[in-house]
Amino acid sequence: MTRQTMTYGDYLSLEQLLSAQHPQSDHHDEMLFILIHQVSELWMKLALHELHAAQQAIMADHLPESLKMLARIKVIQKQLIEAWSTLGTMTPSEYVGFRDQLGSSSGFQSAQYRELEFKLGNKNPYMLHMHERTPEVHARLKEAFETPGVYDTVLMLLDRRGFQVKDALREDFTQPYEAHESVLEAWKQVYTHPEKHWDLYNLAEKLIDLEDAFQQWRFKHLRTVMRIIGEKPGTGGTSGIGYLKKALDYQFFPELWQVRTLL
């Protein structure tokens, strides 16, 4: 195939893409369920693409590029949030019609979602172990689990800029991040004098945008699950609503939320 003979379908691999839906029942609404989750995985792939690049840009002190990428992720997140509204058009009766066909499969098992959480700082070893049966996926998640997350990279940037945050810089990145007073003080300086630290101020707000949208996504997920299955356990073995409620309590960038109280 050459550029002269390439068609729209060729370029986008539409034959493979549009033939990747395989309902396990004859129920009309199973196609909706499959497509929403497939589309969400595509959006997460793009979010990870942008997040990896943004982190590299921050490490290289190229903040303008990172700000553009983080802003794009926020728009991607809007698409992910709205996907739940589309899935919410399915009633409990319609979902029950094919739910048994899902077996033990669950969005809880999404490797891309887990990679996003790892990159944002929510490190849970159990979530890594559950992918051991797929070596390639496990290797990618293990790298995200063991290497600096986005916020670690930002803290390193603060250190390079002269802020006294060395006590918050970690050698072991396999644990969830915990707030530090020194980091809170650094962000207080940034927010008190935004004109002096304009790029860091903008970076902080982009991180807040990212976490805020992520929490909206989690909340919309929770409400959609409540609307469709109520208090039933999840298909992947989770407690369903209980697990989703607990996830809402976790903060990726705690000092960026705490600093608002101090200003």
- Looking at residue 1, its amino acid is M
CA 260 – CA 258 distance, rounded (Å): 5
From the annotation, which residues make up the binding site?
Answer: 95, 99, 221, 235
> Is the distance from CB of 48 to CB of 119 less than 8 angstroms?
yes
From the annotation, which residues make up the binding site for heme?
Answer: 221
Within a 10 A sphere around the Cβ of 47, how many other Cβ atoms? 26
CA 253 – CA 133 distance, rounded (Å): 32
From the annotation, which residues make up the binding site for substrate?
Answer: 95, 99, 235
| Cβ contacts of 146-149, under 8 Å, gap ≥ 24 | 146/173, 146/174, 147/173, 148/55, 148/173, 149/118, 149/119, 149/120, 149/121, 149/123, 149/173, 149/177
**What b/e string do you get for 144-175 counting C-beta neighbours within 10 Å, with b at 16 or more?**
bbeebbbbbbbbbbbbeeebebeebeeeebee
